[in-house]
Chains A and B, each alone.
Chain A
Amino acid sequence: MEFLVGLAMSFGSTLRDVAPIVLMLVVFQALVLRQKLPRLKQITSGFALVVIGLSLFLVGLEDALFPIGETMATQLTASNLATTAVEVRWMDYVVVYAFAAAIGFATTIAEPPLIAVALKAESASGGAISAWGLRLAVAVGVAIGVSLGCFRIVTGTPLQWYIIVAYIIVMIQTVFASRTIMPLAYDSGGVTTSTVTVPVVAALGLGLASNIPGRSALIDGFGLIAFASVFPIMSVLSYSLISSTLAKRKHTPRKTEH
């Protein structure tokens, strides 16, 4: 019963989020474009499936994953309090960095917007970009980003230096990157941090910041999402650089093979 109430509420809030978008699409379709849509039935049922699917997805996340994820984040970040060390040593939190990397990777693989963009990229590139390759590259980027972000919270170093250095690295990579992957790489920064990743990662950041002496949850707890949005750009650009170099090497015949 409680579950059904949760499901109904999730359905209601998803509907409320989607309603303005659908309304706008209908208005433009009816007043501006004034054109009959092809496959109207299929599109309508597709939208219905999106709303139903998203509600189920969210209610499941709230029931199953978020409570455990959040408890784990608090327990892992608090377990070091027992040492009552006066000085915060960054090595004391290695388990937290490992958890951050693992959960960042795992939640990114399940992130629906990333799946959407990856599918689109695969079809738009005619299969030259594999959806799985892209998703793995992004997930690795998020893993590194969130882990480094936790290190930053523990050490209390200013967020802007990390982000600005990351920007500079992206700029350098841009010089060498192919023009077909660039827009996709920039986009991948925004699609990673969504429904699944944000709540878990935010809980991790707030847990860390409130448990470490001298850190304020309000000021130091932020920034993990920023890390998780910049690092995938780097990892996708690196992925494309590496795979194009490998492809080149494959095409040039090697002498040793004779």
Chain B
Amino acid sequence: MKALAGRIFDAMRDLAPIVVVIAFFQIVVLQQPFPNLGDTFVGLVCVILGLALFIHGLESGLFPFGEAIAQAFAKKSSLIALLSFAFCLGFGTTIAEPALIAIAAEAAEVVALAGHIENEVSVREAYALNLRLVVALSVGSAVVIGVVRILKGWPIHVMIISAYVIVTVLTFFAPHEIIGIAYDSGGVTTSTITVPLLTALGVGLASSIKGRNPMVDGFGLIAFACLAPIIFILVYGMIA
């Protein structure tokens, strides 16, 4: 109970900047009154309470679980099981991601307006669905590559910089309209639940394998999961 009170206090501190920024711009810059102050207050209480509960659940449930599962995999030392788990985690969390569904629909609209595909509902829907599949596959493969990197202890910067070079080269060949969407997609595919799980998995793996350091090898899964969609959407835009 005491821990939860502390978390509520933390959550209030975390949200204070938003309240200050919105109040400042609303009152000083736009010089307008606050619409329905009561609703806003109730909403704010929900946000604070929700954040406190989320963080509490994260530390008591999600983190220990992610680490326990990583340790179990490290002990079992079945590479196929671990890699298929990594793929499913990446694919499964991405395919149903609401932000991805929204961005795929927008991409289809932009590409149709530019005349790259026929501007019909069925064509656009098929394009968006395929795009989602492509991105989910790419995130799944990225997590697999990331896990292999942790196992082998490959240096991350070589891989990330190669990915940057690939993105840069592809940008010159991809259709102009898709570039913005592709770049944005990297940020939206990793959701609130996926990030803690991936982090716990990576750090858990790195701490249970001999010779790996949780800081040097444990982090980085999210970075892979962010770059892969950019590359795959650019390629998809060139082919489809």
- B-contacting residues of A (Cβ < 8 Å)? 3, 7, 13, 16-18, 20-21, 24-25, 28-29, 32-33, 35, 37-39, 42-65, 67-69, 71-72, 75-76, 79, 95, 99, 102-103, 105-107, 109-110, 112-113, 115-117, 119-121, 124-125, 129, 159-160, 163-164, 167, 170-171, 174, 179-184, 186-187, 189-196, 198, 218-226, 228-229
Number of residue pairs A-B, CB distance < 8 angstroms: 341
Contact A42 B60 (CB under 8 A): yes
Check B171 for interface membership: any CB of A closer than 8 A: yes
Q: Which of A48, A59, A124, A221 has the most CB of B within 10 A?
A: A124
A39: B residues at CB distance < 8 A = 64
Contact B193 A17 (CB under 8 A): yes
- Tally B residues with Cβ within 8 Å of A: 106
B187: A residues at CB distance < 8 A = 189-190, 192-193, 198, 225-226, 228-229
Contact B180 A159 (CB under 8 A): yes
Residue pairs across A and B with Cβ atoms less than 8 A apart, 18 shown, are A13-B98, A17-B191, A28-B81, A52-B57, A53-B49, A56-B53, A60-B49, A61-B47, A64-B46, A68-B34, A68-B40, A103-B18, A109-B17, A110-B15, A117-B199, A124-B218, A190-B222, A222-B180
B42's contact among A3, A32, A47, A222, by CB below 8 Å, is which? Answer: A3
B17: A residues at CB distance < 8 A = 105-106, 109-110
- A-contacting residues of B (Cβ < 8 Å)? 14-15, 17-18, 20-22, 24-26, 29-30, 32, 34-35, 39-65, 68-69, 72-73, 76, 78, 81, 85, 88-89, 92-93, 95-99, 106, 109-110, 113, 155-157, 160-161, 164, 167-168, 171, 177, 179-181, 183-184, 186-188, 190-197, 199-200, 203, 207, 213-223, 225-226
A190: B residues at CB distance < 8 A = 186-187, 190, 195, 222-223, 225-226
Contact A53 B55 (CB under 8 A): yes
Q: A56-B47, A117-B199, A225-B188 are in contact. Are A50 and B220 (CB under 8 A)?
A: no
Contact B72 A43 (CB under 8 A): no
A180: B residues at CB distance < 8 A = 213, 215-216
Shortest distance from the beta carbon of A106 to any chain B beta carbon, whole Å: 4
Shortest distance from the beta carbon of B57 to any chain A beta carbon, whole Å: 3
Q: Which of A32, A43, A116, A119 has the most CB of B within 10 A?
A: A116
B61's contact among A33, A44, A184, A228, by CB below 8 Å, is which? Answer: A44
Contact A49 B60 (CB under 8 A): yes
Closest B residue to A59 by CB, please name it.
Answer: B46
Contact B190 A191 (CB under 8 A): yes
A164 CA to B234 CA, complexed, in Å: 15
Shortest distance from the beta carbon of B49 to any chain A beta carbon, whole Å: 5
B160's contact among A38, A43, A186, A196, by CB below 8 Å, is which? Answer: A186
Other A-B pairs, 9, CB within 8 Å; known A63-B40, A121-B219, A187-B222: A21-B93, A28-B88, A33-B72, A49-B53, A68-B40, A69-B22, A103-B18, A117-B219, A228-B187
A119: B residues at CB distance < 8 A = 55, 58-59
